[in-house]
Amino acid sequence: MRYAVLGTGMVGQGLATKLVSLGHEVTMGSRRAGNEKAVAWASATGEGGAEGSFADAAGSAEVVMNATAGMASLDALALAGAENLAGKVLIDVSNPLDFSQGMPPTLSVCNADSVGEQIQRAYPDARVVKAFNTVNFEVMVNPSIIPGSHTLFMGGDDDDAKITVRNLAVSFGWTAAGVVDLGDITAARAMEMYVVMWLRLFGIAGTPHVNVKVMQATS
């Protein structure tokens, strides 16, 4: 499969490297082709990895992963271009963390809206799935770092797109049952607001390799 990974940070690099290791063709997208980190990543990766602008990356891909910072995601996707996103599965991994007011960060959007919903509204022809934003970038692509079964949340309006995401997660090492579908794209509110809890857990656990497992009574 041909993937675009938008963003050159730790999340983007972790996802892109994992995808190449699984045999996919990956183009890492950034604001301008030739981004130093993207070039270094692509050359270290060998044949499976390429780099380019956000539009280059999205245009070449069947599945687009948004791994840009949440506050910059709408700008990044505008550069990617609606025509390069239409009809595609667009996996939104971003979190709208606002560090401008100091620590702990606040969210630049929350409660009655979310970045996931903003993206779906801005690109109605894209098949947006919010996923992978509730875990650390290493756990994301290697869930066995945390012993035992634990949960990966996702949400989106397109059921087929969510099957794609579930299969991708399973290829990363998640169990199919561990991928919890929270429903439509408004679930992005819950998933983005949950990150405030995750940041507290990170703080007290002393490791970013911390997650939750959903548990329920048998009915």
Count of positions on this chain that bind its own copies (CB under 8 A): 47
**Residue 11 near its own copies by CB under 8 A:** no
Residue of 20, 29, 22, 12 whose CA lies nearest to 48: 20
Number of other CB atoms surrounding residue 192 within 10 Å: 28
Q: How far is the CB of 105 from its own copies (least distance, A)?
A: 10
The CA distance from 105 to 71, in Å, is: 12
Distance of CA 134 to the CA centre of its chain: 9
Enter the tokens of residue 167: 């299969």
Q: Say if residues 103 and 140 touch (Cβ distance below 8 Å).
A: no
Q: Compare residues 47 and 111 and give the one whose CB is closer to its own copies.
A: 111
Question: Quick one: which of 23, 46, 177, 219 contacts its own copies (CB under 8 A)?
Answer: 219
**Cα Rg of the chain, angstroms:** 16
Region binding its own copies by CB under 8 A among candidate stretches 53-61, 65-73, 117-125, 143-151: 143-151
Q: Say if residues 51 and 27 touch (Cβ distance below 8 Å).
A: yes
Question: Quick one: which of 145, 163, 169, 178 contacts its own copies (CB under 8 A)?
Answer: 145
Question: Quick one: which of 1, 13, 104, 154 contacts its own copies (CB under 8 A)?
Answer: 104
Question: Quick one: which of 63, 91, 148, 161 contacts its own copies (CB under 8 A)?
Answer: 148
Residue 204 CB burial class (10 angstroms; 0-12, 13-18, ≥19) = exposed
Query: In the range 155-214, which residues lie near its own copies by CB under 8 A?
Result: 155, 180-183, 186-187, 189-191, 193-194, 196-197, 199-201, 203-207, 209-214
Q: Say if residues 54 and 77 touch (Cβ distance below 8 Å).
A: yes
Q: How far is the CB of 31 from its own copies (least distance, A)?
A: 28
Q: Compare residues 40 and 201 and give the one whose CB is closer to its own copies.
A: 201
Question: Quick one: which of 100, 111, 159, 177 contacts its own copies (CB under 8 A)?
Answer: 111
Q: In what order do the strands lie in the sheet with 152-156?
A: 49-53, 25-30, 2-6, 63-66, 89-92, 127-131, 152-156, 179-181
* Interaction site with its own copies (CB under 8 A): 101, 104, 106-107, 110-112, 145-148, 150-151, 153, 155, 180-183, 186-187, 189-191, 193-194, 196-197, 199-201, 203-207, 209-219
